[in-house]
Structure 1
Amino acid sequence: MIIDAHLHTWNTAEVGIGWLAAAGLPARAPIPGDSGDRRYVLVEADADDRRQETEWLLALARRDERVHGIVAAAALEGPQAADELDRLAEMTGVVGVRRLLQDGHPFEPPGLVRGLRLLADRAMPFDACVRAHELPALTRLLDRVPELVVVLDHMGKPPIRDREAMRRWRSDLAKIAELPNVHCKLSGLAAECRDDAELDSATDDVVGRALETFGAGRCLVGTDRPVSQTPEDWCERVLRLVPDADRPRVGHDNASAIYRRTR
């Protein structure tokens, strides 16, 4: 059994997500029905109303036993962060929190550090989503909250068509991996590629680098569907790159330990 640790699902007739149309993504994205014995961590998708999205995802989880849990959105830097996190911590099925930091979100405000510490106090993991050039800022931020369990989404979104930027990505990935509380989600590469051929040529090198850098004990697999679309099962593709003895950790155990179902 595999835990797909990063699946997006939505229905814009019920929860508005304004960015989808411009990205060419469908208005409705159900949980896949073609993947056999698999569990899913459903990750927030930057909906227009994050509370409405969380409630919709939790209602879906109650109807579908394949859902392992929900990574919900929260405004960690906001003045009401403590109340918002208390509310999420009481919701059965919420197993983590994400605050999108990519594309210019400020990393320095003291409120963000305070929110991350509040999250750590509640023993809830943090999904960190940034682009490759933002990895140094994220590393500095997370170094201030060593008690927080962190999952780096999508291997830090490597810029695969820029050779010099990829050199920096490898170096910056190694630096963030020096923080022992940070894990790496082997996901999202297809969204950084122009087509299937580019994905095929990049996968072994990029996933292999992430595995080598973090080690199998700190990696987990996720499809990022439907934002990332792949010609074959992404989880199976990734797990073929993992030594046999480590596949249970990358495919299931690490995700289960990080996204604990305690309620």
Structure 2
Amino acid sequence: MIDTHLHVWDTAAVRIPWLNDAGLPAKAVIPDRQDRRFVLVEADATDPAEEADWLIGVADATPSVHGVVVSVPLEKPLVSEWLERVADIPQVVGVRRLLQDRDLFDSIAFLDGLKRLAACGLPFDACVRDYELPRLLTLIEQVPELTVVLDHMGKPDVRDAAARDRWARNLARLAERDAVYCKLSGLPAECRDADELECCAADILDVAIGTFGVERCLIGSDHPVSQDPSDWCDRVLARLPAAQHSAVAVNNAMNVYQRR
């Protein structure tokens, strides 16, 4: 299995101030799992280049790491230089620039950065909240050649039925675009506790899988930001027939996050 969304960090080496406020540990390491490989995903460090270098070093030293999704400030003037640098690094398999709660959807500079990213052939991890999905769609419609991975199923609201209905409709609109994939991840972090997760996980996963189909879904633990008392990746696979496990657990990740 390839877990396509694992966070690792060491705040002694990389500055990530929000971790302390979120009650997360100062250090997070790669789980010792013989049955899994991992895609390491950036964690919104103060200095994206510092974090990228550190993650690439971890990947280079760790056989279980398939690749790294690094942060690149796509709206900044030096984006071309950033992208040229990371595109030549074999361990880099994707780029993420957090969009949730940030005023980047209407940025001409950010749009230009996405176009440059598409020209590099790297996929973009899009992390947004449920009510931001329409703005994401408007943005990526302007870059049809870009491969987009929707992180955390678009962060559905687990407590508001009307918001869940809107999320499902907006998810379906995104799924109309063949170059958009859905990462089955992040739900535990949206839930207050294990009971709430247990109540909503099956329904939300079924909607996401049914909307995108097994050929465009990937699996990701979002550990340790997301904490599932059971194993989240196994929870996801339990919603699928055994014959479809390889697509969601391995094949789609290999196709989207290609090593160079």
Q: What range is the shorter-chain TM-score in? A: over 0.9
Report whether the alignment pairs 1:83 with 2:81. Answer: yes
Residue of structure 1 aligned with 2:60, choices 59, 62, 68:
62
Sequence identity percentage: 52
Structure 2 residue aligned with 1:247: 245
Structure 2 residue aligned with 1:18: 17
User: Deviation at 1:5?
Assistant: 0.2
Report whether the alignment pairs 1:29 with 2:28. Answer: yes
- Gaps of at least 5 residues in structure 1 are none
| Alignment map for 1:143-162 (pairs within 5 Å) | 143-162=141-160
Q: How far apart, in 2, do the equivalents of 1:245 and 1:141 lie?
A: 35
User: Deviation at 1:105?
Assistant: 2.5
User: Deviation at 1:181?
Assistant: 0.6
Structure 2 residue aligned with 1:71: 69
Structure 1 residue aligned with 2:202: 204
> What TM-score does the superposition give when structure 1 sets the normalisation length?
0.97
Residue 20 of structure 1 aligns to a residue whose secondary structure is helix
The code of the aligned residue for 2:4 comes to A
User: Deviation at 1:78?
Assistant: 1.2
The code of the aligned residue for 2:209 comes to L
The code of the aligned residue for 1:40 comes to F
Q: How far apart, in 1, do the equivalents of 2:30 and 2:200 lie?
A: 27
RMSD: 0.8
Q: How far apart, in 1, do the equivalents of 2:100 and 2:107 lie?
A: 15
Residue 240 of structure 2 aligns to a residue whose secondary structure is coil
Structure 1 residue aligned with 2:40: 42
Residue of structure 1 aligned with 2:189, choices 188, 191, 195:
191
> What TM-score does the superposition give when structure 2 sets the normalisation length?
0.98
Aligned pairs, number: 260
Structure 2 residue aligned with 1:99: 97
Moved over 4 A (4+): none
Residue 67 of structure 2 aligns to a residue whose secondary structure is strand
Residue-by-residue CA offset, 1:217-253 (whole Å, 9 max, x unaligned) = 0000000000000011111110111122211010010
- Gaps of at least 5 residues in structure 2 are none
User: Deviation at 1:42?
Assistant: 0.1
Structure 1 residue aligned with 2:178: 180
Residue 14 of structure 2 aligns to a residue whose secondary structure is coil
User: Deviation at 1:213?
Assistant: 0.2
Residue 249 of structure 2 aligns to a residue whose secondary structure is helix
